[in-house]
């Protein structure tokens, strides 16, 4: 793939497209990131003009690349990717594959993003299933990584150990330190969990890695503690856990607001603590984290929430550029080679005696 800093943004993926995507592209371009806005040119150009962008040939940091089709949330992912080759999302992946963009960002159908990654990028050699990874904030220790966040509902031990390796490389690339990895379970004792988690725990404990230190099991109560830097689980559990965390964060903010408004004294205290509350709100704001990378495909793809606003999408564009510049994909490729013995042991675990 040719070296480029441009990020391909699917302009017709989100719930409020293309208005949100256009504004996000403008925000990113004004911050110095080149963006290829992919979608129906006739609808995109007037929106750019409303935001003061009169050039869309790259001069103002934005290039419009026409795509005549879209993939909706109602489409069957794999069928849509095959039957709509000129869909904005699919074209974004093609631009990266041809070296005209460094990464893809979309707030569209996450299943179609996974299918596009598999069909257009292909899996990294040695990876059985790609996974979605997400970071969330903690009071101490920096962000923690959760993998898988929803791509794989039913997993085997090989999947979890591969998630552990990919999550560790992502964490070290994004946060700059050798991470501690834990497997999510219902207790910290080795005998806890399911057949799946026990097998993953046994494999990771038996094969020490230079890329990470294996902590063992972690529980739900450990999410916001400085216990591990990467939490490994199947996509069903990971998606539920992430949504519980998002709901809890919103609930805490609501409880604080209600408590502050109870009396004149608490209102005064709220005024004094307003800077701290504002900082907390910014830290818990999902828009600050932009999107979730799809790991295990041969390229950088960021999946954003369908309801993401311009700030979240612009953040997704920024982190896509960061991960491409930091050579996340080559680092993953190297790590896969370094963990062949672990992966082979996991494969043997699945083979009938």
Q: Is 300 left (phi over 0), alpha (psi -120 to 50) or beta?
A: beta
**Residue 294: closest CA among 302, 285, 286:** 302
CA within 13 Å, CB half, 93: 27
Instruction: Band the pLDDT of 266: cuts 50, 70, 90.
Output: confident
pLDDT recorded at residue 2: 43
Helix (DSSP H) and strand (DSSP E) numbers for the chain: 13, 11
Instruction: Band the pLDDT of 248: cuts 50, 70, 90.
Output: confident
Please state whether the predicted TM-score (pTM) of the whole model is above 0.75. yes
pLDDT recorded at residue 136: 85
- Residue range 311-319: mean pLDDT, rounded: 93
pLDDT at 352 over 60: no
Alpha helices of the chain — where are they, by DSSP H? 19-30, 41-50, 77-83, 88-97, 110-116, 157-175, 195-206, 235-260, 264-272, 274-284, 310-325, 328-338, 340-350
Q: Is 32 left (phi over 0), alpha (psi -120 to 50) or beta?
A: left
**Spatial distance between the Cα atoms of 62 and 7, rounded to a whole number of angstroms:** 10
Of the candidate ranges 39-43, 94-98, 290-294, the one whose mean pLDDT is the lowest: 290-294
pLDDT recorded at residue 84: 96
Instruction: Band the pLDDT of 257: cuts 50, 70, 90.
Output: confident
**Spatial distance between the Cα atoms of 114 and 120, rounded to a whole number of angstroms:** 10
pLDDT recorded at residue 91: 97
pLDDT recorded at residue 284: 60
Instruction: Band the pLDDT of 313: cuts 50, 70, 90.
Output: very high
pLDDT digits (tens, 9 = 90+) for 90-121: 999 999 999 999 999 999 999 999 999 999 99
pLDDT recorded at residue 1: 44
**Spatial distance between the Cα atoms of 116 and 300, rounded to a whole number of angstroms:** 12
pLDDT digits (tens, 9 = 90+) for 122-142: 999 999 999 999 888 888 888
């Amino acid at each position: 793939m040719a070296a480029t800093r441009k990020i391909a943004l699917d302009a017709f993926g989100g719930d409020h497209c293309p208005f949100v995507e256009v504004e996000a592209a403008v925000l990113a371009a004004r911050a110095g990131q080149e963006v290829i806005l992919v979608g129906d040119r006739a609808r995109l150009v007037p929106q750019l003009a409303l935001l003061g962008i009169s050039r869309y040939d790259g001069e103002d940091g934005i290039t419009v690349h026409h795509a005549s089709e879209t993939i909706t949330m109602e489409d069957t992912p794999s069928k849509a990717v095959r039957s709509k080759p000129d869909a904005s999302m699919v074209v974004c992946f093609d631009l990266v594959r041809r070296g005209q963009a460094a990464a893809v960002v979309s707030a569209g159908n996450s299943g179609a993003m996974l299918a596009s990654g598999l069909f257009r990028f292909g899996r990294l050699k040695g990876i059985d299933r790609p996974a979605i990874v997400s970071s969330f904030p903690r009071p101490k220790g920096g962000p923690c990584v959760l993998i898988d966040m929803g791509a794989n509902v039913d997993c085997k031990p090989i999947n979890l150990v591969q998630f552990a390796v990919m999550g560790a490389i992502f964490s070290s690339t994004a946060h700059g330190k050798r991470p501690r990895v834990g497997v999510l379970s219902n207790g910290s004792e080795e005998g806890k969990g399911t057949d799946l988690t026990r097998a993953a725990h046994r494999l990771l404990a038996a094969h020490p890695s230079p890329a990470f230190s294996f902590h063992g099991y972690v529980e739900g109560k450990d999410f916001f503690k400085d216990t591990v830097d990467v939490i490994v689980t199947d996509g069903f559990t990971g998606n539920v856990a992430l949504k519980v965390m998002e709901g809890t964060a919103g609930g805490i903010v609501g409880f604080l607001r209600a408590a502050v408004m109870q009396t004149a004294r608490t209102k005064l205290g709220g005024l004094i603590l307003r800077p701290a509350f504002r900082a907390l709100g910014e830290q818990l704001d999902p828009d600050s984290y932009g999107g979730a990378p799809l790991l295990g495909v041969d390229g950088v793809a960021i999946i954003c929430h369908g309801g993401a606003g311009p700030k979240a999408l612009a953040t997704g564009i920024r982190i896509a550029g960061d991960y491409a510049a930091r050579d996340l994909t080559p680092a993953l490729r190297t790590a896969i080679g370094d963990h062949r013995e672990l992966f082979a042991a996991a494969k043997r675990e699945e083979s009938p005696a």
